[in-house]
Chains A and B, each alone.
Chain A
Amino acid sequence: MSAPSRASGWGLRSAALIYLAVLLLIPVAAVFWRTFEHGISEPLDAVTSPDGMHAFWLTILCVGIAVPLNTAFGVLTALVLVRQDFRGKAALNAAIDLPFAISPVVIGLALFLVYAPRDSWFGGWLTDNGIEVIFSAPGMVLATIFVSLPFVVREVMPVLQEIGTDQEEAAETLGASPWQTFRKVTLPAIRWGLAYGVVLATARALGEFGAVSVVSGHRNGETETLPIFVQRQFDNFNAAGAYAAGLVLAILALTVLFSMNLLQRRSARAVDVGDDDEGAPTTPSVFVPQPIEKEA
């Protein structure tokens, strides 16, 4: 590499790092720092309090329902959008992005209009049947599903487009049923796009505040997820509690991110093992002359 390009390479790298540091790393590090500023007992008490524990488990519940549902329907929707042609496809495709386009608070209000106990479309019927949606866990789960819906679809679609249908058709000619084809061919082919979509959806579901907050009704210890709990601690001047709960959220998100990374690296190593076979250095996609003139 020549000197000027090396210098400009350094310049670009520094700019990117400084940007990341100022806008992302320093604020996150500050949360870690402030959490343990006055020792471990105060933050520990905050997160292990009944309200804190309830918020933790409610968050896990919301994520635990929203992410698997959005993963399954996300893959299905991506398959339909990429592999099928039908009227209204463009409209469906655009609708997937609604959660990106609409402010979370508005999403919360929209759910309110549909499910609220009074003056809503289904609320009355639901209340008559003893089902509580708004100001209760089901509403919060619905809000979480809404905001984290597009990620899997949007990450899987381009991968499906790229792999095309050849591999699936090959599997079918070899006798594989549609389900076998999906499990043995399609799913492995889209796995990285899918994994990334799941990570993004999980991060969004964990951190969602606006939409969930509107439908939660803020009943302490009953309809609080971790982000709402953080907000309340903050409003009550319990900074240590807020930071501690915030830290728990950050750790949850990072755990998901790292486990996905680990999975990815392990499978990349599996490919490397094939590469190092017999220690022979190989260059992919270079034609290796074979004795094809020889009698078969």
Chain B
Amino acid sequence: MAETVTLEVQRYRPETEGEPTWERFEVPCQPEWMVLDVLNYVKDQVDGTLSYRWACRMGVCGSCGMTVNGEPALTCATYLRDLPRGPVRVAPLAHFPVIRDLVVDVTDFVDKLARVKPWIIRKEDKPLSEGEYLQTPDELERYKQLSMCINCALCYSACPIYPLEPEFVGPAAIALAQRYNLDNRDQGASEREEILSSQDGVWCCTFVGECSVVCPKHVDPAGAIQRHKVTSTIEWFKSALLPWRKR
């Protein structure tokens, strides 16, 4: 005796509709299913036009972010049994423009990630003869949590500031910048400072903290942003009170 779950999914077909609509499907399901399994069933067996993104189906690629029952979530990491009884409402990831059905445009997010220069920046590369860049476990621990980001953009979906101030660089980008700033192999903190300490950088954030609540990898971008506010402020006072100091 198969169980069924009611899927309420937001459809948006720009070639025929001006506004999104909701559609219901009764889907036979297994107890161990994720929301993604339900979507896949609908696409495979009921309506092949349902459009959505997914890839790894195990919570590491960051492709399947959507709004499930009003909260940003990875559909491949959300078990049906963890959701309250009743219809499962799946909508596109909030705060991003919807292209079709559950597919959103994340160009803005990707642009911002690139702008924070998320790579090791060296003033001078070590010559090969000097061997590898060494890093102790303690030094790794300083930024490791921040390196867990899978670029799923759930944090942008949870952040209320991002839709209100679209120029805001955003939680993941700032956390990623911090990941490199705190990496002892990196020497590029000053290059990232302009974007981080700009009006669209850390100062937009009012520590709502929702980004950290929804992050599937427990990166705590909110904490990373606050820590950068502290760093930035100390730097600001140093340069204001000691202008002759060489950076």
Chain B associates with chain A: no
A residues contacting B by CB (< 8 A) are none
Mark B residues whose CB is within 8 Å of A.
Answer: none
